[in-house]
Amino acid sequence: MSLSLHASYASPADTDTPLLVVILPQNPLMTAPLVAIDANLGGAMARTIARRDFRGARDETLLLVGGDSGALRVLLVGRGSVALTRATARRATAIAARQAVKLGTGAMHVLLPDADGEAIEGMALGAAAGSWEYRDLRAPVAEKEQRATLANATIFMSDSDAARTSFDAGVAVAEGQAIAKRLGMMPGNYCTPDTFVEVGREIAARHGMTLTVLGRAEMTHEGMGSFLSVAQGTPEEPKLVVLEYRGGAVDAQPVVLIGKGLCFDSGGISIKPAPDMEWMKYDMSGAGGVMGAMEAIGRLKPPVNVVGIIGSTTNMVSGTAVKPGDVVRASNGKTIEVINTDAEGRLVLADLLVFAKRFHPAIAIDAATLTGAIVIGLGSGAVGVFGSDQSAVDRVLSAGERAGERGWPMPMWDEYKDQIKSEVADLKNTGGRAAGSITAALFLQEFVDGYPWVHLDVAGTAYSQTDLGWIPKGPTGTPVGTFVEIVRAHAR
C-alpha cells in the first residue's frame, strides 16, 4: 500500500495540515471542536452550515479555504442521516481521499467527531480505499504536471488502547485489501499461478506462516482430475497454494479459507463472447481475497489457526483443452460430466474442498467469482451466501455486515439438485440458466464432507465495472473484510 496511515491524539484546531477533512452527519450542528476549527476560518464553516450550502447528505462535499497556518484547506464531507458504522465512516473517508488525490495535497487529516472504534477502523479503510491506484504498468507522469499522490493520511482519535486497536485493525485489513486489489487489477499475463506462489511466499515469510505448493505432478498424485481438467488447456503450471497460520492451540481446528484463482477465464472450448471478456482477469478475486485475508491475519495475530487454500490456473482454448461431454474424476472419486467448459470455477473448487478436509476445519469458507447469475440477481450490492449449516451461514452473514461487505442468503434446497444429474457420470457441471448460482453451489456441496461450509459468490462484488462513487471502477477488496471478521469472531 503506497499510503501511510497515522493516528493523532492532538486537537484538530491546532494541527498544521494541507487538508483537514471534517466528516459530518445530516444537518450538522456547530459543536465545540468545530467552533475551534472555525476560528481559523473566520467563521466560514458556521456561515456555510447556517446558509445550508452544506447539509451533510451522504457523499456531499464542500471545500473551504483555510488560513496561512493550521489547516490550509478544510473539506466538509457528509455522511447522511444513517447510523455511524464502519461502512459509513469508510465511505465518507474514501470520498475525502479521492478529493485529496484530485487536489494533490499529498496528505490529509481526518476528523469524524465522536468516532468510536468501528468508525476509526472504517476511516483507516476508507483512506486506503479512496487513494488506491494501480500504477505499476504506466509511464510516470511528467514532473511538472505531477500532483502529489496522497502519501499520508492521519486520523484524529482519542488517546486510548481501544482506539489504537481499532486503528491497527483498520490498517491490517487495508494492507490485505491492497494485496487483493493489486492481484485483481494485474492483467492475466502478469498475474499467473506463479504470482500466487510468490505472493504466498512473501506473506509466509513476513508472518512466519507455512507455505505448501502443489503443481501438476502433485495434483495428479492427489487424483485431482477435476481441477486438472481446467488446467489441461494451458501450458502454464497450475498451482495449489496453502498458507498455514498457527495462532491457536496445536490441536485447535482451523478456520479454512478457500479461493478460486482463475488468472483468466476465456470460457475454454465453450468460449465466452468477446465483449467484456477482458474483465475475466478478475476471475482470481476469490484467491486474491484469501491472500489479502492471510496478510491481514498475519498482522492482527488472532489466537486461532487459519489455513488459506487457493487453486490457480487459466481457462484456455487449445488442442489439449477439456471438451464438452468429457467426464473427469475428482479427488473424492466422484465423476463429473463437463457440459460447459466455462463452468470451470466449480471444477477447481471441487478438488480444493476435498483437499480442505485434511485440515479438519472448524469451518471452511470459499470465495469465488463463480456465476454471472449472481451478478444478475444481486448486482454489486451483496455477496451471494450459500451453505447448508445455518449457524455457519449466520456467522458469515454477520461477519460480512460488520465488514461493510454485505451478503444475502440464498437457498440450497434439494429440489434444485435434479438440474445437475448426469446420464453418464455422478454429476454434470452445469444445470442450465435457471437458478444458475444455486446449482453451482449445490455442485460444490457434493465435495464438502464432514465440516461446516459456506460458499461466497463474489462475481458481482469483488470488482466493479462502474465507478461506485466512493471507489473507482475495478477491484473492491471484497471478500477480505468478511474473511478477517470471521476469523476475528472465531477468536472471541
> Which active-site residues does the annotation give?
272, 346
Q: Which does 33 bind (CB under 5 to 8 A by kind): ligand BES, Mn ion, Zn ion, none?
A: none
Q: Do 383 and 368 form a contact (C-beta atoms < 8 A)?
A: no
- In 10 A of CB 395, how many CB atoms? 20
Cβ of residue 342: shortest distance to ligand BES, in angstroms? 4
* Distance of alpha carbon 184 from alpha carbon 294, whole angstroms: 16
Which SS3 state, helix, strand or coil, does residue 55 take? coil
Q: Which residue has the cell 505499476?
A: 136
Q: 247-256 burial string, b = 16+ CB within 10 Å, else e?
A: bbeeeebbbb
Between residue 248 and residue 267, which ones bind ligand BES under the rule CB under 6 A? 265
Compose the 280-319 pattern: x for residues touching Zn ion by CB under 5 A, - for all others.
Answer: ---x------------------------------------
**Chain centroid offset of residue 289 CA:** 5
Q: Which stretch, 25-33, 105-113, 198-206, 366-374, contacts ligand BES (CB under 6 A)?
A: 366-374
How many alpha carbons lie under 13 Å from residue 323 in its C-beta half-sphere?
4
Q: Is 345 in the site for Zn ion (CB under 5 A)?
A: yes
Question: Does an H or E element contain 337, and which?
Answer: strand 335-337
Largest CA-CA distance found in the chain, in angstroms, rounded: 80
Give the residue with the Cβ less far from Mn ion, 116 or 265. 265
Q: What does the angle CA 270 – CA 274 – CA 277 come to, to the nearest 5 degrees?
A: 85
* Distance of alpha carbon 38 from alpha carbon 262, whole angstroms: 52
Give the residue with the Cβ less far from ligand BES, 113 or 324. 324
Cα 21 to Cα 72, 86, 127, 158, distances in angstroms: 11, 17, 11, 17
Give the residue with the Cβ less far from ligand BES, 283 or 485. 283
Give the residue with the Cβ less far from Zn ion, 265 or 351. 265
Of 375, 425, 489, 491, the one binding ligand BES (CB under 6 A) is 375
Of 118, 265, 295, 405, the one binding Mn ion (CB under 5 A) is 265
Cβ of residue 476: shortest distance to ligand BES, in angstroms? 13
Q: Is 369 in the site for ligand BES (CB under 6 A)?
A: yes
* Distance of alpha carbon 292 from alpha carbon 362, whole angstroms: 21
Cβ of residue 279: shortest distance to Zn ion, in angstroms? 11
- In 10 A of CB 213, how many CB atoms? 16
Between residue 266 and residue 325, which ones bind ligand BES under the rule CB under 6 A? 283
Give the residue with the Cβ less far from ligand BES, 191 or 343. 343
Q: Do 55 and 78 form a contact (C-beta atoms < 8 A)?
A: yes
Cβ of residue 432: shortest distance to Mn ion, in angstroms? 15
Compose the 118-137 pattern: x for residues touching Mn ion by CB under 5 A, - for all others.
Answer: --------------------
DSSP letters of 259-293? EEEEEEE--TTSPPPSTTGGGGGGGGHHHHHHHHH
Cβ of residue 253: shortest distance to ligand BES, in angstroms? 31
Question: Does an H or E element contain 445, and which?
Answer: helix 436-445
By CB under 6 A, the count of residues binding ligand BES is 16
* Distance of alpha carbon 392 from alpha carbon 445, whole angstroms: 14
Between residue 322 and residue 361, which ones bind ligand BES under the rule CB under 6 A? 340, 342-345
Q: Do 440 and 448 form a contact (C-beta atoms < 8 A)?
A: no
Q: Which stretch, 29-37, 84-92, 265-273, 446-454, contacts Zn ion (CB under 5 A)?
A: 265-273
Residue nearest to ligand BES (CB): 372
Q: Which stretch, 41-49, 371-379, 394-402, 479-487, contacts ligand BES (CB under 6 A)?
A: 371-379
Query: Which positions touch ligand BES (CB under 6 A)?
Result: 265, 283, 340, 342-345, 369-373, 375, 430, 436, 459
Q: Which stretches of the chain bind Mn ion, using CB under 5 A?
A: 265, 342, 344
Chain residues in the site for Zn ion (CB under 5 A): 262, 265, 283, 345
